[in-house]
Amino acid sequence: MRIEEALRKVPASFRTQLEDHPLIRTKRQHLTLAGCLTDPACLKDLYGGLSCGEQQLLSALWLRFGAHSFTTEQAVSIVIEMSKAEVVLGMTELRKLGLLFTARKTWGEKIHCIPKDVYIALLPVLLPDVWIGLEAEFPEQDVDEGVLQHALDSDIFRLLCAIGMRGELKLTQKGTIHKKELQQLTGALQIEKEKLQPVGLQYVHCESYTEAFAVVLDMALRLGLVQQPFQTIQLNVKRLGPWLHMTADERCQVLFELWEKVAYPKELPLQMGWALLYLLEPNRKYSWGQMVNAILTQYPDGTPEAISDQLLNRILLPMAALGWFGMERTDHDWKVWRRQQEAETEHFYIQPNGEIIVPPHLSLPIRWELELLLEKQHSFSVNITRDSVLRACEHGRTGSEIIEFLKAHSMYPLDPSFEQLLREWTSAYGKAQIEEVVLLRFTDKEDADRWLLMPHAETAVAAKLTQTIFILHRDKLTAAEKQLKEINCLPQKKSDAAPVYPTCPSSIVMDADESDTMNTEASRGVVYTVQDLLLYPLDTDIPKAQDMYGELRDIPAMWTNGMRKYHESTMKDVFKKAIELGVKVRLRNASAEGKVAAPRELIEQPSYWNVRCSSEEGLFTVNPREWEEIQLILPGINDKT
């Protein structure tokens, strides 16, 4: 779960409540609420505004649970120096800031979670020294990657183009793409499937699809770029334009968030490694070995070799194969850097012989149209041929549109001889026409005669081929269908219409609601997601401190007002109430002034009783006969006195 997803799911009143929190209101400035909660600098200020106990709790939750869900009891168990009430009250304060979200399961149990992007942004706040030494071994910062493209982004684009050319992909009865087409689509992928196998993705049709193709199809489905009506996969033209017009960095960020849904690890060292990689500054080289050492500092259970292998095979290598990171082997280490996409260009090179040199960062709206005109797409150098121009014409492009497109986006003026050749090819198109007509065929002559007797039936006929076969005018088809139904001749429709490659709009103008479209999932994909807090309704009811203790009037006021001496039986009642409420007590005797402890268990024996307690020093046993005075401490009520 990311913070934007959580904020979309909660009521507007709860979002307003978060925005109006004094710590957030003074720090937001020009940031959105989600931006504030995922900005390390802003989070550092928010963290500084927390109490010492709240800071301690947030650090413990971050280290122990990462971005995975946990119960209240699990949270209490990791901070033994805090009482249950202090933990619950501390988590309430974190919920008020949007640093923690709570969901309620069907049977009433509450689970809590730090959103993934908040968890990532908290890393430099909670571990400010983690970056020391990561760049020290590589003072040179120039990253030369040649003409590398983002493999996942590029493969999704290829899939969209392939479907656009075909019109649709037909599915088998099992719901998979037919073998021949699947082989063609899989063979065109840049992603190395072997690099994805250690992730252990679970997906449907795993017997037919490779990991690489499953990820590409999954992303396209989740983004709503394709849809699956009636045993087919078709383009969703409504979402195609906005996707193509996003910048490369915007697309890569959206794809990263979708990859996070299916590949985010449960293991805490791997979660920290994921966060470190995400926070790397683009195109700056970092030491992989130093990153592993930084993780081992927080999670020492494991050898450097084992942690490094897990991080490499399950995190870094898959994300490098998909296109987010670059890697280079040294003698004893890896150089790692986060790729930043180059600025996109709208121009390409056209040679006089029709050869096209396509820059690797050509903008997708331009590439989308150019794909129609390319004979081969196996390298950056491809050709425009008569057959490829014919294909573009068959998909609805006119000769003038083709020539104007090439002129507008050619790096240099179009060669006159090649332009003339294009005009010859496009002008030849349409000199002979093969037209699909509406054919009406009756199986019985009597039915044909009955239909011809219907009003205006003969005017719908363009030509009579036989006594039972007619060619109809297209504009009369609807009326003819209605008449056929009236005489109980229900028409069976047959169509082999040619696919039409959609035109990408030259620009996209969206209102505020539509601009967020590409950040929301349109449908389920084929890869199973990691279990998420969003499966359950989010709990936006944040209790007040006094609500945690039931009826306060049932607690004697003298127990909370100050240190007092009680009879041993009353002292036992105070300890029992402290255990029941999950709060602390303050104890005093001649040698200790105001010792604070969290009672955990009352141990009763026939002749005496003790209390098992915890504090900052650890677990210990309280003998009530050794203490003179006691006070019940209710966090949020009397813990400041």
**What pLDDT digit, counting tens, does each position of 467-479 carry?**
999 999 988 988 9
pLDDT at residue 380, as a whole number: 54
511, pLDDT greater than 90: no
Q: What angle do CA 327, 332, 337 make, to 5 degrees?
A: 20
Structure tokens at 426: 């496009």
Identify the DSSP state of 263: H
Tell me the average pLDDT across 244-257: 93
d(C-alpha 186, C-alpha 292), whole Å: 35
H or E stretch including 630?
strand 629-633
Instruction: Give the sign of the dihedral formed by CA 12, CA 37, CA 223, CA 375.
Output: positive
219, pLDDT greater than 90: yes
Phi and psi (nearest 5°) for 627?
A: -120, 140
Greater confidence, 302 or 179? 179
**What pLDDT digit, counting tens, does each position of 161-180 carry?**
999 999 899 999 999 999 99
H or E stretch including 622?
strand 618-622
d(C-alpha 52, C-alpha 130), whole Å: 21
Mean pLDDT of the chain: 87
SS3 197: helix
Tell me the average pLDDT across 356-373: 91
271, pLDDT greater than 70: yes
d(C-alpha 281, C-alpha 264), whole Å: 21
Least confident range from 401-405, 458-462, 510-514, 545-549: namely 510-514
495, pLDDT greater than 70: no
Confidence of residue 139 (pLDDT cuts 50, 70, 90): low
Greater confidence, 550 or 45? 45
pLDDT at residue 337, as a whole number: 87
SS3 210: coil
Instruction: Give the sign of the dihedral formed by CA 499, CA 504, CA 510, CA 516.
Output: positive
d(C-alpha 153, C-alpha 254), whole Å: 10
Tell me the average pLDDT across 622-627: 88
d(C-alpha 232, C-alpha 593), whole Å: 77
**What pLDDT digit, counting tens, does each position of 544-562 carry?**
877 777 666 778 889 988 8
Greater confidence, 148 or 374? 374
In DSSP notation, 36-99 reads HHT-HHHHHHHHHTS-HHHHHHHHHHHHHHTTS-EEHHHHHHH-TTS-HHHHHHHHHHHHHTTS
Beta strands at 101-104 and 110-113: parallel, antiparallel or unpaired: antiparallel
Least confident range from 376-390, 533-547, 627-641: namely 376-390
Q: Please choose, from the candidates 322, 144, 344, the residue with its C-alpha nearest in 3D space to the C-alpha of residue 249.
A: 344
187, pLDDT greater than 80: yes
**What pLDDT digit, counting tens, does each position of 403-417 carry?**
999 999 999 999 999
* Tokens 């304060």, located at residue: 93
User: How would you classify residue 19: left for phi > 0, otherwise alpha for psi between -120 and 50, otherwise beta?
Assistant: alpha
Residue 48 makes CB contacts below 8 A (sequence gap 6+) with: none
Structure tokens at 545: 């401190």
Its pTM stands at 0.82
d(C-alpha 3, C-alpha 232), whole Å: 35
d(C-alpha 378, C-alpha 154), whole Å: 13
Greater confidence, 28 or 399? 399
Residues in the chain: 641
Greater confidence, 106 or 589? 589
379, pLDDT greater than 70: no
d(C-alpha 164, C-alpha 377), whole Å: 15
Identify the DSSP state of 74: H
Confidence of residue 232 (pLDDT cuts 50, 70, 90): very high
d(C-alpha 614, C-alpha 628), whole Å: 19
512, pLDDT greater than 50: no
Report which residue type is found at 446: E
Confidence of residue 641 (pLDDT cuts 50, 70, 90): low
Provide the b/e sequence for 123-139 (b: ≥16 CB within 10 Å).
bbbbbeebbeebbeebe
Greater confidence, 246 or 146? 246
Least confident range from 11-20, 434-443, 482-491, 545-554: namely 545-554
Tell me the average pLDDT across 268-291: 91
Strands (E), 125-172: 169-170
183, pLDDT greater than 70: yes
d(C-alpha 154, C-alpha 419), whole Å: 30
H or E stretch including 71?
strand 70-71
* Tokens 């050749």, located at residue: 421
d(C-alpha 344, C-alpha 325), whole Å: 19
226, pLDDT greater than 90: yes
Q: What's the distance, CA 134 to chain centroid?
A: 28
Greater confidence, 334 or 493? 334
Percentage with pLDDT > 70 across the chain: 91
Least confident range from 127-131, 187-191, 410-414, 568-572: namely 127-131
d(C-alpha 371, C-alpha 458), whole Å: 46
Confidence of residue 138 (pLDDT cuts 50, 70, 90): low
- Please, which residues bridge with residue 177 across strands? 171
Is residue 225 within 8 A of residue 218, CB to CB? The reply is no
pLDDT at residue 309, as a whole number: 92
How many other C-beta atoms are found inside a 10 Å radius of the C-beta of residue 303? Answer: 10
pLDDT at residue 146, as a whole number: 43
Greater confidence, 139 or 297? 297
Identify the DSSP state of 429: T
pLDDT at residue 147, as a whole number: 41
Greater confidence, 593 or 63? 63
Is residue 247 within 8 A of residue 343, CB to CB? The reply is no
